[in-house]
């Protein structure tokens, strides 16, 4: 029987997410809820399903956003599409359906960054054969989504996981417990304190943070439906560290982390990661993703401490295939590629200046 492609509405929300939960490459950034979150930050989600014998075999959540000034849209499929890329006919159909939508909407290009390691050269060859080109930015963690992460197989028992960690990591987990640090799952009432500590973290480490309302939206959209969880570390009755995790199916991701300048010597960040791993295991997860680390860095890099912290848990250093663009309107795409970096730098500079002014 032939494949059937359909654009779906919220009546199929549960069925759509159920496919993501069971697919090996299913990702929370392709979930229905993530599309709704992004819809409140200027993106419009479109959800595509491909069926065979009335069973879903591939999905894509396409985010559409109009670029500033000119108002022409771009398409982005974050950590997707979710398709068996080895099935050429199925992959071609997914791309063909997105192209049809792009033509209708007047989109400039489609950006994808599949959850596929760079070692899978067959996908790179396939994408190039279909007109995609690499769109590596080389900034920050190398893209919209991190290109380099640590991923830990958490299917072994807890004793084995601890034994496989670096000695210093095990020591710091136990030290935090000995010093009286406690970890609990956070509630909605903990969100303001989490954000306060997060701002403290961003000021210390010199990176930008989204508005508090965004984290309210993350919590309210993901935690009640079981796709997210807030964790807090307490010491002497005070929240000194916090994290936000995402989960779908048998996969969990550490997304945001916050740590106070106070009491860093009691090592709350080590213990909170361990408790998040234990939580993910309790849900039946087999993969825990520590998220982004810089690529190819040396010990003199300012971010090397972050790399060393995550490496200590013995995850596998994973490089993804990265970002790929399929251009529909070449002339406008050329202008976008040259003007967007300038626009982004100007906006970030203005935001940074405003925040420095507020602190004075």
Q: Which domains does the chain have, with CATH numbers?
A: 4-141+321-359 (3.40.630.30), 155-285 (3.40.630.30)
| Separation of alpha carbons 229 and 276, rounded Å | 9
Intra-chain end-to-end CA distance of the chain, in Å: 67
Q: What's the pLDDT band for 355 if we cut at 50, 70, 90?
A: very low
Reading the block at residue 325, the tokens are 């663009």
Distance of CA 43 to the CA centre of its chain: 16
Q: Alpha helix locations (H) across the chain? A: 13-22, 32-39, 88-105, 121-129, 158-164, 167-179, 191-205, 212-222, 268-282, 304-311, 330-359
Q: Which of 39-53, 74-88, 133-147, 204-218 has the lowest mean pLDDT?
A: 133-147
| Pair 266, 175: CB distance under 8 Å | yes
Reading the block at residue 331, the tokens are 């002339």
Once rounded to an integer, what is the mean pLDDT over residues 67-92? 94
User: Where does residue 26 fall: left (phi above 0), alpha (psi -120 to 50 degrees), or beta otherwise?
Assistant: beta
Q: CB neighbours of 128 closer than 8 A, spacing ≥ 6?
A: none
What value does the mean pLDDT of the chain take? 91
| Separation of alpha carbons 127 and 324, rounded Å | 8
Q: Which of 52-66, 141-155, 313-327 has the lowest mean pLDDT?
A: 141-155
> Looking at the predicted structure, is the pLDDT value of residue 69 above 80?
no
| Separation of alpha carbons 79 and 321, rounded Å | 11
- pTM of the predicted structure, to 2 decimals: 0.90
Helix (H) or strand (E) holding 153, with range, is: strand 148-153
Q: Are strands 182-185 and 316-319 parallel, antiparallel or unpaired?
A: unpaired
């Amino acid at each position: 029987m032939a494949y059937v492609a359909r654009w779906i509405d919220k009546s199929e929300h549960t069925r759509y997410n159920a496919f993501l939960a069971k697919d090996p490459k299913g990702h929370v950034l392709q979930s229905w809820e993530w599309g709704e979150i992004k819809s409140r930050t200027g993106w419009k989600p479109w959800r595509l399903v491909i069926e065979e014998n009335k069973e879903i075999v591939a999905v894509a959540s396409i985010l559409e956003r109009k670029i500033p000034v000119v108002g022409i849209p771009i398409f982005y499929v974050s950590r997707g599409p979710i398709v068996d890329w080895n099935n050429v006919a199925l992959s071609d159909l997914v791309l063909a359906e997105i192209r049809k939508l792009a033509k209708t909407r007047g989109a400039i290009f489609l950006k994808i960054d599949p959850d596929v390691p760079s070692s899978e050269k067959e996908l790179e060859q396939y994408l190039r054969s279909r007109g995609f080109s690499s769109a590596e930015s080389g900034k920050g963690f190398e893209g919209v989504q991190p290109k380099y992460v640590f991923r830990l197989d958490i299917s072994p028992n807890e004793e084995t996981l601890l034994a496989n960690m670096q000695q210093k990591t095990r020591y710091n987990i136990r030290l935090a417990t000995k010093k009286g640090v406690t970890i609990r799952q956070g509630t909605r009432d903990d969100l303001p304190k989490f954000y306060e500590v997060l701002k403290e973290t961003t000021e210390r480490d010199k990176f930008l943070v989204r508005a508090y309302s965004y984290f309210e939206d993350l919590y309210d959209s993901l935690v009640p439906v079981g796709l997210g969880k807030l964790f807090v570390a307490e010491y002497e009755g005070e929240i000194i560290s916090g994290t936000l995790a995402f989960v779908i199916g048998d996969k969990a991701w550490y997304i945001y982390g916050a740590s106070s300048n106070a009491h860093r010597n009691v090592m709350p960040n080590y213990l909170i990661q361990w408790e998040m791993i234990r939580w993910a295991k309790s849900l039946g997860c087999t993969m825990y993703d520590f998220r982004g680390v810089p690529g190819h860095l040396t010990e003199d890099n300012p971010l090397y401490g972050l790399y060393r912290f995550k490496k200590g848990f013995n995850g596998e250093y994973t490089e993804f295939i990265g970002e790929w663009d399929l251009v529909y309107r070449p002339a406008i795409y050329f202008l976008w590629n040259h003007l967007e970096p300038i626009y982004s730098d100007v906006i970030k500079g203005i935001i940074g200046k405003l925040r420095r002014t507020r602190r004075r």
